[in-house]
Amino acid sequence: QSALTQPASVSGSPGQSITISCTGTSSDVGGYNYVSWYQQHPGKAPKLMIYDVSKRPSGVSNRFSGSKSGNTASLTISGLQAEDEADYYCSSYTSSSTFCVFGGGTKLTVL
Amino acid sequence: EVQLVQSGAEVKKPGESLKISCKGSGYSFTSYWIGWVRQMPGKGLEWMGIIYPGDSDTRYSPSFQGQVTISADKSISTAYLQWSSLKASDTAMYYCARRGSGSFSYYMDVWGKGTTVTVSS
């Protein structure tokens, strides 16, 4: 069982917005602003999409945004595109282990 | 271009040893932590551990402590992940990744393409 809880799947139509949640505890998501999000296409390496809750690395589309409320972080993708179909993982610093923990991953399907 | 180049796919038998590598280029290898992440077939990402090549300071996830050894050779800008006795359950894709800059960076900004390890009798 993963330390952070994500929905197994979400879906949306092109042009719509979707949100993926990531729920932890006060020892990780809720206690620190060190949540990151990764996109992984099938057979590919993960790619950093969001770090420090809401910061976007250079080159990542501004259709991707992150936020946090209490023990739950969220990744929102607006203007959904076919290329966004992938697995998404959240990660957070944790005080109860070493370095970081991942969520179980969410499969995004673009209908 | 900043990149991490991982060694090729491995097929091993249970009980054999293995060392896979991750070579950094395009940046100061000794100034960034390198982490290792496991992904078992059809499963999610699991944090294994992290090393600072500058002084070889190493931290392990409790789940992997004692199961693997992480090391680095800064003279050739390469980090390693090794097993002394492989098990079938070690079959997975293994990624190395660079930790972001700064003491309070808890994300991985550059990833290798992964090394597939298959353990089967």
What percent of chain B clears pLDDT 70, i.e. is strictly above it? 100
Nearest CA distance, B42 vs chain A (angstrom): 10
Nearest CA distance, A79 vs chain B (angstrom): 24
* Tens of pLDDT, residues B19-75: 999 999 999 999 999 999 999 999 999 999 999 999 999 999 999 999 999 999 999
Residue B67 CB contacts under 8 Å (≥ 6 apart), including other chains: B83
- Rounded to whole angstroms, how far apart are CA atoms A7 and A106? 6
- Rounded to whole angstroms, how far apart are CA atoms B57 and B48? 15
- Distances from the Cα of B33 to the Cα of B24, B74, B78, B85, B107, angstroms: 11, 12, 12, 26, 11
* Secondary structure (3-state) at B88: helix
CB atoms within 10 A of CB B32: 21
Query: A16, A63 in Cβ contact below 8 A?
Result: no
* Residue A102 sits at the chain B interface (C-beta within 8 Å): yes
CB contact under 8 A, A51 and B45: no
* Residue B114 sits at the chain A interface (C-beta within 8 Å): yes
| Mean predicted confidence (pLDDT) in A48-56 | 97
Query: B34, B42 in Cβ contact below 8 A?
Result: no
Q: Is the per-residue pLDDT at A1 higher than 80?
A: no
Among residues 28-57 of chain A, which lie with CB inside 8 Å of chain B?
A: 32, 34, 36, 38, 40, 44-48, 51-52, 57
Nearest CA distance, B50 vs chain A (angstrom): 8
Q: Across the A/B interface, how many CB contacts are shorter than 8 Å?
A: 69
- Rounded to whole angstroms, how far apart are CA atoms B10 and B19? 10
What percent of chain A clears pLDDT 90, i.e. is strictly above it? 92
